Amino acid sequence: MKLTVLLVTGFASAALARNSLSVFYTFPGSGSAGEPLSPIIQASDGNFYGTASGAYPSVGVVFRITPSGQFTVVYNFPLDNATQTAPNGVVPYGQLLEARDGYLWGTTRDGGVGKQNCAGVYGCGTVFRVSKDGTSFQSVYAFCTQPTCPDGASSQGGLTQTANGTIYGTTYGTTFSTIFQVVSLNSVQTLSKFNSTTGCWIRTGLTQASDGLLYGVASACGQSGGGTVFQATPAGVVNVLHNFGIATPAGSGPSGQLIRGISGKLYGTTLSGGTSGGCGGNGCGTVFEIDTTGGFQTLYNFDSNTTGNGPLGGLLQSSGGNLWGTTISGPKTGFGVVYELTSTGSLVQVLPLDYYNTGGAPYGNLLWASDGNLYRTASYGGANATGLGTIFVVNTAAPPRPAIRGFSPATGAAGVRVLIRGAHFIGATAVSFNGVAATFTVLNVNSIRAVVPPGATTGPISVKTAAGTATRKSVFTVQ
């Protein structure tokens, strides 16, 4: 059952709410999962998947929840009481990735088998994959099994699968952060080790831009001390695009994973800094845009009296170009807000969260689901007395339009399998090659595998969903 939440009014007229909030699911506590620290995803089967803390002796769970609200624990991360170890991981922290192999991939902040080398609980974190039905689980890698942790420790951001299928991730680190690449089902390779110049404390995952390079943020260090925006080649060569100062007008402490915007620019948030008042004189955070050459602009300054402070998560861009995000604190109720901005930084609306209904402390990005609504986990609060969090919904009823960003191979005869890359493919109803219908499989939100149909001729590829049809300008050549 969804519970509609009355909005707190009293904001400036430009920020009056046009949408409403409702509660999709309340974590019950009392021997069950709760305190979700990462966003949920919508997988190719249409269901939602996420992670949360578990009930003893579980030290974390992967869960599934259907669009109708039926909740199931897919996998429990076990704790071995006798040895006080958790070899599969503790606290699954980053957002899950549905990879093209059909599995859910993720990371844990602690656990594994490197307990003796770091301060993590039972170890320094793992990379794992699990089937969507929970019947197959594999601990792919445990960090920090060697003294000084040369491979990094504590992966807190989600994993990213690039156009060529490679999976990349980051570690927060003990003395340095890293970028790593998954090279097999039991191994990762460290590609980059960060330092005081390139940045430290990487809490988020990476984003691949249209140039094929990877982009991310480090929340501290850099030449000016307040973090960096960096660019990395697939081989791990790092180039700093922007340095943030400490409590500066341009922002400080970039906090959310970058998103690739419609324009090709990247958008992100900082946890502090900016020009607005409040927040102890350090600024309440900002929204910024940056291009792939380092051209930087601050779009919005958070204000403790209007949009609150602590935009700890990243952003989401709608088909119309507006930017959506959340803060973890204030105003009015004190538990954060959902906000909407134009792409140029004008405030559109503010939806305050209520601890006793929607919950509070939303960490991470909103999810734009195929039903048109925006979903987000709140790490605590809710109508349940235990206050172990919720999944709340911004009711927009505007399904995301699909987009095609590329396909491979570019040529082939009937029967050839083609990987189509893009966005918002969940719920796709048709794929065509120059107007001829093809058989296809949705692999994840960003990938479809289609078969060139008999009778197809050279021309564009199209993908259709309930929200519309996307057609790639470049053509597929039928041999």
d(CA 298, CA 251): 8
- Decide if pLDDT at 397 tops 70: yes
Q: What pLDDT, in 10s, does the model give residues 69-126?
A: 999 999 999 988 888 889 999 889 899 999 999 999 999 999 998 777 676 668 899 9
Q: Is the distance from CB of 139 to CB of 109 less than 8 angstroms?
A: no
d(CA 137, CA 402): 31
d(CA 479, CA 477): 6
d(CA 432, CA 442): 14
d(CA 228, CA 450): 39
DSSP category for residue 31: S
d(CA 176, CA 307): 33
Residue 467: name the closest of 377, 418, 396 by CA.
Answer: 396
Q: What pLDDT, in 10s, does the model give residues 281-332?
A: 789 999 999 999 999 999 999 998 888 888 988 999 998 999 999 998 877 6
At 371, is the pLDDT very low, low, confident or very high (cuts 50, 70, 90)?
Answer: very high
Mean pLDDT of the chain: 91
Strand 3-5 to strand 238-243: parallel, antiparallel, or no bridges (unpaired)? unpaired
**Residue 288 three-state SS:** strand
Q: What pLDDT, in 10s, does the model give residues 131-162?
A: 999 999 999 999 998 888 899 999 999 999 99
d(CA 50, CA 53): 11
For residue 7, the model assigns a pLDDT of: 37
d(CA 192, CA 358): 40
pTM, rounded to two decimals: 0.94
